[in-house]
Amino acid sequence: MDDLIVEQEAIMLARTTESVRMREEAQSVLAGGVASSWQDAPPCAVWIDRGKGSRIWDVDGFEYSDFHGGFGVGLAGHAHPAIVEAVQDRVTKGTHFAQPTEDAIVVGRELAKRYGLPLWRYNNSGTEATMDAFHLMRVATGRSKVIKVEGSYHGHHDAAQVSVYPRIEQAGSVEQPNSVRYSTGIPDPMAQLTIIVPFADLAAVERALATHKGEIAGMIVEPIMMNIGMIPPPAGYLADLKDLLHKHGAWLTFDEVKTGFGVAPGGATELLGVTPDLLCTAKAMAGGLPCGAIGGVPELMGLIADRTYEQVGTFNGNPLTMAAARATMQSVLTGDAYRHLDRLREAQVSGCEDVLKRYDLPGFVRAFGAKGAVIFTDRLENYRDFLNYDDQWGNAHWLYQHNGGAFLPPWGKCEQWTMSVQHTMEDVNCFVRNFETFARALRGGTIA
């Protein structure tokens, strides 16, 4: 595996010379030579020139089927005609007033219909959406602590930056993990207000509620974990979790920043049939423009309405993002689009499963809606399993896909593919072909 990675990194570097040059040029003005730290992955940050449909082109002119989707944003694909039209129309009428426009009502109705929650507010990112959720649960209960799952990522505000990817030496016991701050930028007293539990472990939540009796405002959970591969919850877990939290006067927030729109029209809430008290979404909701949203039950969102909690932001409900969000929900992410995604997903999953079997590789495929991942380990049910999962597999797979013209997110074992409504079977075939090239290389070039 190590040899294959060295070889594939050399191939990648040899054809991304302009990316390397731009990265060097950028170092003088951008810290680390990139615009966000996770845009940089070994062997080099790939600089993009443009995108159209399911394809993107890097600055060296190399074309890819885009399975990265800008970290899960790209359900609409690139330059979708409906988004282009909506943005072009809005841009000529002014793009910012810090006063609401009609599209905000239309988008709110769409969100309410998809997620079954009546009241919404907007912001600009997943981070802002989950930050509002932490605040709102605290305001509603007068309590300070929030339960979070070990290994989940909910954005980069203080309360969420706890036990994101803790090292095993720091993580504490499996049953009662430590609250480990992601960096020293998070004050430790702040981190101690975020109580950590393993995924899908109700007993651990019950223990946390007992240990911190009367102090827990609520819990935030990704209904399908998506930043440590892909982990669905066991049957009944989310419904029981909601009941348990309510029994203790605490609230349940779903972080659907990644799952929202991606796994079903109404996200994991629709797919799994449990409606939370608060729901955060962002990424795919505005067809590639930066937008976030928080929705919830009247008991919580009413605290915004009566101004107990001032949910604010200069760009909240920005006219351009609202126009794009309206077009995304009304014209792009339609029933037909999800049926198309279902067909693509089935083909990609069965293609990858076939390769795993024929080449006798470890692992399995998980996929929901537009999203999926090949998981190169026998068991992935929580963060401790993730720690035992050798990341060289995902890394090598990423390189093979990249050199074969399919752009996956880097950080192989953390991330997953995202397909867009503009993907076709040609894109799927490219992905499966690259996967077989990787499998064959691992098996010493023998064709199964």
Ligand X SMILES: Cc1ncc(COP(=O)(O)O)c(C=O)c1O
Active site residue 153: yes
Segment contacting ligand X by CB under 6 A, of 133-141, 150-158, 328-336, 395-403 = 150-158
3-state secondary structure of 368: strand
Catalytic residue among 66, 255, 277, 385: 255
Shortest Cβ 213–ligand X spacing (Å): 28
Residue nearest to ligand X (CB): 126
The count of chain residues that interact with ligand X, using the rule CB under 6 A, is 15
Shortest Cβ 159–ligand X spacing (Å): 12
Element (H, E) at 52: strand 48-52
234 cis-preceded (ω within 30 degrees of 0): no
Segment contacting ligand X by CB under 6 A, of 21-29, 125-133, 378-386, 399-407 = 125-133
Q: Is 316 in the site for ligand X (CB under 6 A)?
A: no
Residues 63 and 57: beta-carbon distance below 8 Å: yes
Q: What is the DSSP letter of 277?
A: S
Token reading at 167? 């090292």
Catalytic residue among 64, 153, 237, 389: 153
Segment contacting ligand X by CB under 6 A, of 190-198, 219-227, 302-310, 391-399 = 219-227
The neighbouring-strand residues paired with 372 are 367, 417
Q: Which is nearer to ligand X, 258 or 340 (CB)?
A: 258
CA dist 189 to 17, 150, 158, 193, Å?
46, 18, 11, 7
The neighbouring-strand residues paired with 57 are 50, 63
Q: Which residue has the tokens 């480990």?
A: 180
Q: Is 258 in the site for ligand X (CB under 6 A)?
A: yes
Q: Is 418 in the site for ligand X (CB under 6 A)?
A: no
Element (H, E) at 271: helix 267-272
Active site residue 255: yes
Q: Is 125 in the site for ligand X (CB under 6 A)?
A: yes
User: What angle (nearest 5°) sits at the alpha carbon of residue 311, between those of residues 310 and 313?
Assistant: 115
Token reading at 276? 């939370």
Q: Which is nearer to ligand X, 272 or 361 (CB)?
A: 272
Residues 45 and 19: beta-carbon distance below 8 Å: yes
Residues 115 and 269: beta-carbon distance below 8 Å: yes
Q: Is 127 in the site for ligand X (CB under 6 A)?
A: yes
Segment contacting ligand X by CB under 6 A, of 9-17, 250-258, 297-305, 378-386 = 250-258
Catalytic residue among 148, 258, 283, 413: 283
Residues lying near ligand X in the complex (CB under 6 A) are found at 71, 125-127, 130, 153-155, 222, 226-227, 255, 257-258, 282
Catalytic residue list: 153, 255, 283
